[in-house]
Structure 1
Amino acid sequence: MACVPNSSMTLLFVEMGVGYDQHGQDVTSAAMRACKNAISSNSIPAFRRGSIPGVSFEQMKLQIKLGVPRPLHHTLDLEKVKSVFPYGRISNVEVVDGGLICSSGVEVEEMGDKNDDCYIVNAAVYVGY
C-alpha cells in the first residue's frame, strides 16, 4: 500500500534518501543520515521568496516516512530525527517496516560495535504547505 501525505497538506514535492550506520548499531543515526540525504541536494527558495501566492515561509509543512527494520522500531529516537530539518513544520512522522539489517563485514570494537550489523533506513520527505 502506498502512503501519500494526509490531506492537511498541499504537496509540492517528495525528497527521498537512504542512511546507514555501519558501526555502533544506532538506527537513529541511520535515520538521521537518511533524512539528511533526502534534503541535502535541494534548495527551496519558493517558500522564502514568496513565489507561491498566498503562502508564507512559516506555512511550509513536512511529512516524513521512514522505512526501518521492524526489530529496531522501538529504539528509534524521533526527536533526534526531527532535529535534522532546519525549517518547516513537521506535521507527521510515519515509521513503517523497511530498511535492512546486514553485515558490515567487520566488527570494530573501537567504534562501539557490539557485532557486525549494519543498519539501513530509507526516508521519504513530503514537502508542501
Structure 2
Amino acid sequence: MTSNSCCLLLNFPVQVRSLTNYTSNNKNFPFLRLTNPSSLRLQPPPISAPQSKATSAAMEADQSTTTNTSTSTSSSGSCPPMNLLFVEMGVGYDQHGQDITAAAMRACRDAISSNSIPAFRRGSIPGVTFDQMKLQIKLGVPHSLQQSLDIERVKSVFPYGKIVKFEVVDGGLICSSGVHVEEMGDKNDDCYIVNAAVYVGY
C-alpha cells in the first residue's frame, strides 16, 4: 500500500482509480486508492430558496390553527396530568332504603378507611406539599340509578385532597336482600351495590 492510499471514512465525492484489498487476521478490509487526495473538499449544505410571503403566511396560519386546537382541547374539561402513587378500592351496599348515594359513600369509605397517608403531611415526597394531594374517583353504579346519585354528597366522604376527576360508569349491582322491611324505609327488597376506585397522587 503506497503513501497516497487512505481509508475512505468521509462521504465526499472522489474519483476512484482502483480498489485494493488488505488482509489481516483472515478478514478483508477494502481500501480505495485516490487519484488525487487533495480533491477532498467539504461540501457546503444546500441553501434553500427564500420563502415567498404567501408561503410564510400560510405556514403561520397552520401554526396558529394547531395552537388554537391544543388550547381548546386542554380547556374542554379533560383530566389534568397526575403522578399516581397508589389506588384504593372498595365496595358499598345499601340493603334497606334503596339509596344509591348511601351505597356510593360506603364504597368510598371502604376504599380509604384502611389506609393512612403520612407521606404528604411529613414531606416524604420532595417538593410536594400536603395541599398538592390529588384524587381521581371512579364509581361503578347500575345504569338505571346513575341519575339519582348525589355526587356532592359522595365527595364529602374524602377528608382531604383535591378531587380532579369524578367518573361514574356502568357497574355495581342491584340484587334482592331477601326481605322487605318497611320500618327501615324499604320500598321493595332491592339491595344496591356500588364499586369504587380511588386514585391518589400529586
Pair in the same fold by TM > 0.5: yes
Say if 2:80 and 2:164, in contact at 8 Å, map to a contact too.
no
Q: Deviations over 1:51-106 (max 9, x none)?
A: 00000000000000000000000000000000000000000100000000000000
How many residue pairs end up in the alignment? Answer: 124
Equivalence for 2:171? 98
Work out the CA distance in 2 between the residues paired with 1:49 and 1:115.
49
Cα deviation, residue 46, structure 1: 0.1
1:7 Cα deviation (Å)? Answer: 5.3
Partner in structure 1 of residue 188 of structure 2? 115
In structure 1, C-alpha distance between the alignment counterparts of 2:156 and 2:94, rounded to whole Å = 18
User: Unaligned 5+ residue runs, structure 1?
Assistant: 1-5
Residue 20, structure 1, aligned to residue 93, structure 2? yes
- Specify the alignment match of 1:46 in structure 2: 119
**What does residue range 33-72 of structure 1 map to in structure 2 within 5 Å?**
33-72=106-145
Deviations 1:1-49 (A, max 9, x none): xxxxx55110000000000000000000000000000000000000000
Higher relative contact order (CA 8 A, sep 6+): 1
Code of the residue aligned with 2:81 in structure 1: it is S
Instruction: Indicate the residue corresponding to 1:31 in structure 2.
Output: 104
CA distance in 2: counterparts of 1:47 and 1:76, whole angstroms: 31
Paired residue secondary structure (2:158): coil
**Structure of higher CA gyration radius:** 2
Letter in 1 for 2:111: A
Consecutive unaligned residues in structure 2, runs of 5 or more: 1-78
TM-score by length of 1: 0.95
Which residue number in structure 2 is paired with residue 81 of structure 1? Answer: 154
Q: Distance in 1 between matches of 2:93 and 2:200?
A: 23
Using structure 2 for the length normalisation, give the TM-score. Answer: 0.61
Q: Distance in 1 between matches of 2:116 and 2:181?
A: 37
Q: How large is the RMSD of aligned CA atoms in angstroms?
A: 0.7
Q: Between the two proteins, what is the percent identity of the paired residues?
A: 82
CA–CA distance in structure 1, aligned partners of residues 196 and 93 of structure 2? 11
